[in-house]
Amino acid sequence: MSETTTTNTTASATTTEALRERALKLDAADQLADRRELFALDDGVYLDGNSLGALPAHVPARVQDVLTRQWGELRIRSWEESGWWTAPERIGDRIAPLVGAAAGQIVVGDSTSVNVFKAVVAAARIAGEGRDEILVDATTFPTDGYIAASAARLTGHRIVPVAPADVPAALGPRTAVVLLNQVDYRSGRLHDLPGLTAAVHAAGAVAVWDLCHSAGALPVGLDEHGVDLAVGCTYKYLNGGPGSPAYLYVAERHQAAFDSPLPGWNSHADPFGMTPDYAPADGSARGRVGTPDIVSMLTLEAALDAWDGVEVDAVRAKSLALTDFFLECVEAYVPAGRVTSVTPAAHAERGSQVALRCDNAESVMRRLIERGVVGDLRRPDVLRFGFTPLYVGFADAERAARVLAEVLAETAGA
């Protein structure tokens, strides 16, 4: 993890010096730079926040309180007195401004996978009779595809795999639901949520968006763009912790028609009435299922404090500047032909990660991690580097590119 040695042979010492100086200037001008102190980080470069966000340092003490006082002392009283019962909607309202949603439309709970199931089945029911196709991003994160396929079997629909760019051409009078990711988990490509949502609506279908790789990294504008239903996880850019509960957005105009395929007692209008017949709650609570995972949920709630006072537009601006700068450093340091970016160069098509195709990607990533530059691998040959603007800076980007060049120089021809 040496900061001083540069063993790569392609970049001149002056190039390296110039890039390091630029990095320092960019960090000095960065309005979000002070956020990094809020996180428990070491002196490595953590570029895997798109898989597991870093721990905000204040969280353990808050969780300790949940365990020892709320559970240990108040016990059952905490459902009321510590706000446990209403946590799913309360925390949903904390996430809402980060994804451009007014209050009352997001509920937190369950995994993204489970929420994909709720959303796709409910969307198919909203779309109504006579529409029998569910269009699914052909390159989607596997769980979305698996769950959509099962939802289709249950509801008597047919799955149509389609590349997001081809969705407009694939839409028709038979389309019921379109399930898309705003940002592709592998390539980091940002899809046109406003345009695709409008196209889905023009065809009379229902748009379901998965925000796992966009929420907390860029403005989503759920309300503004008329998205129908959306899901997302909270352990990536939102730093909620391993396995922290996901969320479900149901636009207010669809809430009355939202017919959950998992109508548990927590989504009942009168949960403690314990009646044999199901009557759904109004509002976002309709998306609940069973007893919420309170410890994880309150861990997430505490973690969201790291977002207080942060504008998503500022996050987006920094994210683009960071990924631009990282690509520039890679270009300057890495010998030509060793890596190819599969992340679009155009800002309008880029999320908050850079994915580089590379030979021997597995051993390259292992060596990077050994030197304190933590990204991850999507087999067989993609190195992923996630840039989380709350705690990654420009010097980190420069160092990651420099260490990558060193590793590649050592593994030349390997």
Ligand X SMILES: *Cc1c(COP(=O)(O)O)cnc(C)c1O
Q: Give the footprint of ligand X on this chain (CB under 6 A).
A: 111-113, 141, 143-144, 181, 185, 210, 212-213, 233, 246
In sequence order, the 6+-apart residues with CB closer than 8 A to the CB of 368 are: 374, 375, 383, 400, 403, 404, 407
Q: Tell me whether residue 139 or residue 360 sits nearer to ligand X (CB atom).
A: 139
Cα–Cα distance measured from residue 390 to residue 237, given in angstroms and rounded to the nearest whole number: 9
Dihedral of alpha carbons 370, 371, 372, 373, sign: negative
Q: Tell me whether residue 89 or residue 210 sits nearer to ligand X (CB atom).
A: 210
Closest approach, Cβ 108 to ligand X, in A, equals 13
Q: Tell me whether residue 82 or residue 143 sits nearer to ligand X (CB atom).
A: 143
Cα–Cα distance measured from residue 317 to residue 347, given in angstroms and rounded to the nearest whole number: 10
Catalytic residue among 384, 391, 394, 399: 384
Say how many CA atoms lie within 13 Å of 377 toward its Cβ.
15
Catalytic (active site) residue 210: yes
Which residues are paired to 357 by β-bridges? 340, 382
Q: Tell me whether residue 113 or residue 150 sits nearer to ligand X (CB atom).
A: 113
In terms of residues, how long is the chain?
Answer: 414
Catalytic residue among 118, 236, 338, 402: 236
Per the CB < 8 A criterion, the answer to whether 237 and 215 are in contact is yes
In sequence order, the 6+-apart residues with CB closer than 8 A to the CB of 373 are: 44, 45, 47, 399, 400, 403, 404
Closest approach, Cβ 143 to ligand X, in A, equals 5
Catalytic (active site) residue 110: no
Q: Tell me whether residue 374 or residue 408 sits nearer to ligand X (CB atom).
A: 374
Closest approach, Cβ 70 to ligand X, in A, equals 25
Closest approach, Cβ 247 to ligand X, in A, equals 11
Closest approach, Cβ 277 to ligand X, in A, equals 31
Catalytic residue among 210, 228, 293, 396: 210
**Residue 83, amino acid:** G
What DSSP letter does each residue of 93-148 carry, written as one string? HHHGGGGT--TTSEEE-S-HHHHHHHHHHHHHHHH-TT--EEEEETT--HHHHHHH
Catalytic (active site) residue 235: yes
Catalytic residue among 39, 46, 117, 141: 141
The residues annotated as belonging to the active site are 141, 210, 235-236, 384
